[in-house]
């Protein structure tokens, strides 16, 4: 399956906006395009302070992307316990963690070859 490249910038911007609207923390963008056999072009990783905030981040991202781009995730999993929710937009996969779960899995270290861009919090 060919990777979709058009619209990645717009989709990334709307995902970040959705995370920031509900004060998601420690936002990192992992650029996976230069890595062979990667499942997508980008990972967006962030965390919330509770399962309530994790669900709020997920809902905010979905609403923001849907309003701006008329797009919805192909698949969402993990919402039941809201410790780690994965949102698959095909070319971009969003990981929303509770802080302790993010530290435990440390998926950024698994993609050490990826270019990582950290988004500073404005709050």
Tell me: the pLDDT tens digits for 79-90?
Answer: 999 999 999 999
- Read off the CATH number of the domain in which 58 is found: 3.30.460.10
Please write down the long-range contacts of 2-6, taking CB distance under 8 Å and 24 or more positions apart: 3/40, 3/41, 3/91, 4/90, 4/91, 5/41, 5/91
Beta bridge partners of 94: 44, 87
In a domain, 11, yes or no: no
Average pLDDT, the chain: 92
Q: Is 12 a domain residue?
A: no
Q: Residue 3 above 80 pLDDT?
A: no
Residue 45 included in any domain: yes
Q: Is position 113 within any domain? A: yes
Count how many domains the chain has.
1
SS3 8: helix
- pLDDT tens-digit profile of 38-87? 889 999 999 999 999 999 999 999 999 999 999 999 999 999 999 999 99
User: What is the rounded CA–CA span in Å between residue 35 and residue 119?
Assistant: 22
Residue range(s) defining the domain that contains residue 96: 24-118
Tell me, yes or no, whether 1 lies in a domain. Answer: no
Contacts of 71 (CB under 8 A, 6+ apart): 11, 65, 89
pLDDT value at residue 121:
79
């Amino acid at each position: 399956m060919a990777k979709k490249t058009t619209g990645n910038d717009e989709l990334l911007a709307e995902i970040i906006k959705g995370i920031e609207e509900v004060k998601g923390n420690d936002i990192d963008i992992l650029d996976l395009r230069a890595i062979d056999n990667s499942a997508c072009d980008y990972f967006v990783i962030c965390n919330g302070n509770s399962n309530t905030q994790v669900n709020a981040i997920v809902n905010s991202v979905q609403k923001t992307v849907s309003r701006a781009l008329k797009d919805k995730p192909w698949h969402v999993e993990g919402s039941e316990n809201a410790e780690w929710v994965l949102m698959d937009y095909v070319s971009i996969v969003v990981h929303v963690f509770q802080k302790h779960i993010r530290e435990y899995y440390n998926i950024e270290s698994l993609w050490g070859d990826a270019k990582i861009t950290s988004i500073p919090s404005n709050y």
